[in-house]
Chain A
Amino acid sequence: MKPIAKKPLPRRFQQARWDEPVIFELSQPGQRGVLLPPVEAGIQQEVGNPAQALPAILRRKVPPTLPEMSQIHVLRHYARLSQENLGMDLNIDIGQGTCTMKYSPKINDQLARSPKLTELHPLQDPATVQGILEVMHRLEGMLKEISGMERITLQPGAGSAAIYANVCMIRAFHVGRSEDKQRDEVITTIFSHPSNAAAAKVAGYKVITLYPDADGYPDLQALKAAVSERTAALLITNPEDTGIFNPRIEEFVRLVHAAGGLCSYDQANANGILGITRAREAGFDLCHFNLHKTFSTPHGCGGPAAGACGVNAALVPFLPIPTVEFDGRKYYLDYNRPQSVGKTRPFYGVTPNMLKAYAWIMSLGADGLREVAEIAVLNNNYLMKKVLEIRGAGVPFAKGKRRIEQVRYSWEQLTRETGIRSEEIETRVADFGMHYWTSHHPFVVPEPMTLEPTESYSKADLEEYAAMLKQISDEAYTNPEIIKTAPHNSTVHQILHEPFDNPDEWAVTWRAYLRKTGRKKG
């Protein structure tokens, strides 16, 4: 036979299209997905049916209208839906900048599935959970070293929850000094995650947002103008979402400290600086990591995640309860912390993710973490070179400078020349089996695109992603219609968005959809 043609770049992709009904449409009267353990006759005789004896107000009159399905049909339905989803395992997932999409090692998932973890109740006697307490204590020790901070809490459920926990500790610190009434402002930057601004607002602070100067750095003059005796804290990311490291960060910290404020470091973008630079050396009072970003735990379609807050000695009294302690013989939970901000969430945090992050750090060590950072940065700068070869793509700010772990690009030129917007590119990317993200709002960078090629991607992966962007750029200049009518190879075609913002039409649930459209059940 003659040789079969080599695979083209970008690949010819077709997303699964199972045409799967909504689960209620799969209901078959009388079918069962699982059976329950019996209630023995001895119990029945003794107590009858207490549910029937409930006061009428408490009794459910009609069973919930859930679908009735056999087990295989539930499994098949969700297995099909899963195939209509990409995930890091399947795609070159560098399109979600700021989110550090990296490989989540399967061995770590496997370890976290041990019944020795999954079947632990959080209120068991500490003598029966020494293993998991030791994992938590060791992980705290590692993150202390990686950040340089005095203590770490692993309790927050994700990055934004960690930001909020830090804001609570900042507030408690100022309360302790009777300066909480005076210090009612929090300063952040527009290229820090929106949750820095939003969490501070929930905690009662007036939010001041700094914009970049001409070079893309957070504006130092604006900071000088903003800092005052009203400053409670600076919440800042570095490198910011542009991928630019702020070289004057020590000065930022000094200015805020001089005014009596605290400095909290959002380390969502830590992947490129592991083992290179730390919160401590820059003088920060608090910081936080996302274990689901930098430390590899899977993102789970948007959680469960895990946040870890680091604090310096002055903030230690305010840590959430409990802390995990070791007395030389045994591990225990310490609730006796009178100045604590209290609970951030039930119990101790997202324990399976702690174990996965612990295993990840253990499998890399200090040299491995540094390799993570260096390769993430090398990948990013290599990809930037490839992207800048594409017609219509650009990088605002700090011209000619390297970037750390990600880049916020701009398609401004492409839009000007072809009319194609970044959000249209996003939709077209789905046709190639990949993901693409613009940026957080507001779009300070026009027609933004944020790519973060972590250490998990090979040179060939980066080239494939760039080849796809190049093809889309070519299309914009020669055949924009194919972009405007995308997606073509996805599970579904263009969604008609109008109902999502119209209260008369929006439907967050199937029952609301049936009611609003007049469609009959079944």
Chain B
Amino acid sequence: MAGKKPLVYPYIPNSAPIAKAEMLQAVGAKSVDDFYADIPASLRLKGKLNLPEPLLSEAELIRHVDGLLNKNKSTRETLSFLGAGCYQHQVPAVCDEINSRGEFLTAYAGDPYEDHGRFQALFEYESLMAELLNMDVVNVPNYDGFQATATALRMAVRITGRTKILISANIGVDKLSKVREYLKPDIAIEQIPFDLKTGLLDLSALKAKLHAEIAAVYFENPTYLGLLETQGRQISTAAHAAGALSVVSAEPLSLGVIAPPVDYGADIVCGDIQSLGMHMHYGGGHAGYIASPDDPKFVMEFPSRLFGIAPTIVEGEYGFGDVAYERTSFARREQGKEWVGTAAALWGITAGVYLALMGPQGMVEIGEGIMKKCRYAMKKIAAIPGLKVIFADTPHFTEFVVSFDGAGKTAAAVNQALLERDIFGGKDLSAEFPVLGQSILFCVSEVHTQADLDCLTDSLKEALQ
């Protein structure tokens, strides 16, 4: 080390030798090692960490990371029809502008005085979602739609004092996996089959399984397979008749045209807000919402922060703060409701920006537009000999299932053939829903043009030759 100039790191102001020496002297330490006196020798790392040589300058770092990212091919460079829980939509530039602002991006847990803006923006997010959902209580986002479902069901268990859940079997396996693990060990899950003709919940099977120990009936709208559940009212009524709650996961982007679940009897509504202004981020853009009636029976069971509005000592000022904070694990550790912690607040702010930009008209137009484009793709594909759109007579929102059994092709082979034509096909369902045979879940959104959809149809025709 002799003669070598110590490295001063731009992210570490006091790595400058002058500051370091002054501070050591001020605290009466010979070296920084003095501070670690409590750490026994047996625990001290011998030598240094075996990490790659650092890239100290921005130029080197950019070159390295670009080199890695350039091995990716994005949906900007290809046509993609992938959905299945993560959705490609246009993200308005203003969404990115707001969530990139350092005031929001780098803030954390400030109180309502230094971080009034964060509180107001998240209160507004809750309020905008509430209009979409036609409900009076919405949480500050939790991690993702999977967590939202899992927590909504635990809330239902606490509210009803019962410990069994009925779940529609048309749920995706990943979400079911999360929910199962989260409801262990005290809550039992039973799946209700779906009708193989319509893809929708089998009502008679549901009624046969409802009894006095059921806390909640859970279904999705649209379902994982893209279908709009038309029996929401009957399902909720049946659940209520047995003293159970109706818990519904809804895609918020559909709610400009689709009725909010509370209108057909849902008690707790949950889901993911990735579609509302978040990029896909390779699956890293998720956040969850939970909504309920404004009834303490429900409100007191939320684990999440709930930001509310209140007056200040100055007339005309809006103040914000935590509603019913004592229910949280921050206040009461294991006596609180589940837990609360850092989750996905910035995505909540972003979703608020998105809804404000879209307005009522935008939400109606995007819903109608997606349904038109989806229907068009279904129609074109159904016309290809050998292909069948499964559940074609049930209403769809943004996704639909195509069976390739009649064409004698595996879903994997079809997706591979599409990939060779520079198209990301849909989600291969053959392992997840064997009952649907060799089938693919395609997703169509507002970003697709007629030419894109015709290109998919033509490419499928070629792939089948």
Contact (Cβ within 8 A) B336 A36: no
Contact (Cβ within 8 A) A427 B356: no
Residues of B near A116 (CB, < 8 A) are 69-70, 72, 74
Give complex CA distance A24, B42 in Å. Answer: 61
Residues of A near B257 (CB, < 8 A) are 51, 54, 59-60
Contact (Cβ within 8 A) A195 B356: no
Residue interface mask A164-201, B partner, CB < 8 A = 1: 10001001000000001000000000000111011111
Which of A124, A351, A437 gathers most chain B CB within 10 Å?
Answer: A124
Residues of A near B42 (CB, < 8 A) are 250, 281
Report which of B66, B98, B140 forms a contact with A78, defined as CB distance below 8 A. B98
Give complex CA distance A93, B9 in Å. Answer: 19
Residue interface mask A24-38, B partner, CB < 8 A = 1: 100000011111110
Contact (Cβ within 8 A) B107 A122: no
Residues of B near A53 (CB, < 8 A) are 395
Residues of A near B319 (CB, < 8 A) are 492, 495-496
Does any Cβ of A come within 8 Å of B347's Cβ? yes
Does any Cβ of A come within 8 Å of B286's Cβ? yes
Give complex CA distance A512, B321 in Å. Answer: 15
Does any Cβ of B come within 8 Å of A482's Cβ? no
Contact (Cβ within 8 A) B333 A197: yes
Can you list 28 pairs linking A and B with CB atoms under 8 Å apart?
Answer: A34-B362, A39-B373, A47-B376, A58-B228, A71-B357, A84-B115, A86-B110, A113-B96, A123-B427, A135-B68, A145-B51, A249-B43, A276-B36, A299-B107, A300-B346, A301-B107, A343-B146, A345-B146, A359-B65, A363-B11, A363-B55, A365-B54, A368-B7, A375-B14, A382-B27, A404-B38, A435-B114, A501-B323
Residues of A near B141 (CB, < 8 A) are 303
Does any Cβ of A come within 8 Å of B23's Cβ? yes
Does any Cβ of B come within 8 Å of A413's Cβ? no
Contact (Cβ within 8 A) A132 B105: no
Contact (Cβ within 8 A) B49 A303: no
Does any Cβ of B come within 8 Å of A449's Cβ? no
Does any Cβ of A come within 8 Å of B144's Cβ? yes
Residues of A near B72 (CB, < 8 A) are 116-117, 120, 128-132
A513: nearest chain-B partner, CB-CB: B309
Residues of A near B22 (CB, < 8 A) are 459
Contact (Cβ within 8 A) B138 A430: no
Least Cβ–Cβ distance between A164 and chain B, in angstroms: 7
List A residues 86-140 near B (Cβ within 8 Å).
86-91, 93, 96, 99, 101-105, 107, 109, 111, 113-125, 127-132, 134-135, 138
Does any Cβ of A come within 8 Å of B460's Cβ? no
Contact (Cβ within 8 A) B363 A63: yes
Report which of B92, B294, B352, B366 forms a contact with A33, defined as CB distance below 8 A. B92
Known: A123-B427, A198-B338. 16 other contacts (CB 8 A): A36-B446, A54-B257, A65-B360, A84-B116, A121-B283, A145-B51, A202-B339, A249-B43, A301-B105, A301-B345, A370-B48, A370-B49, A492-B318, A493-B314, A495-B310, A500-B322
Residues of B near A132 (CB, < 8 A) are 68-69, 72, 282
List A residues 318-375 near B (Cβ within 8 Å).
321, 341-355, 358-359, 361-372, 374-375
Does any Cβ of B come within 8 Å of A497's Cβ? yes
Residues of A near B349 (CB, < 8 A) are 78, 301
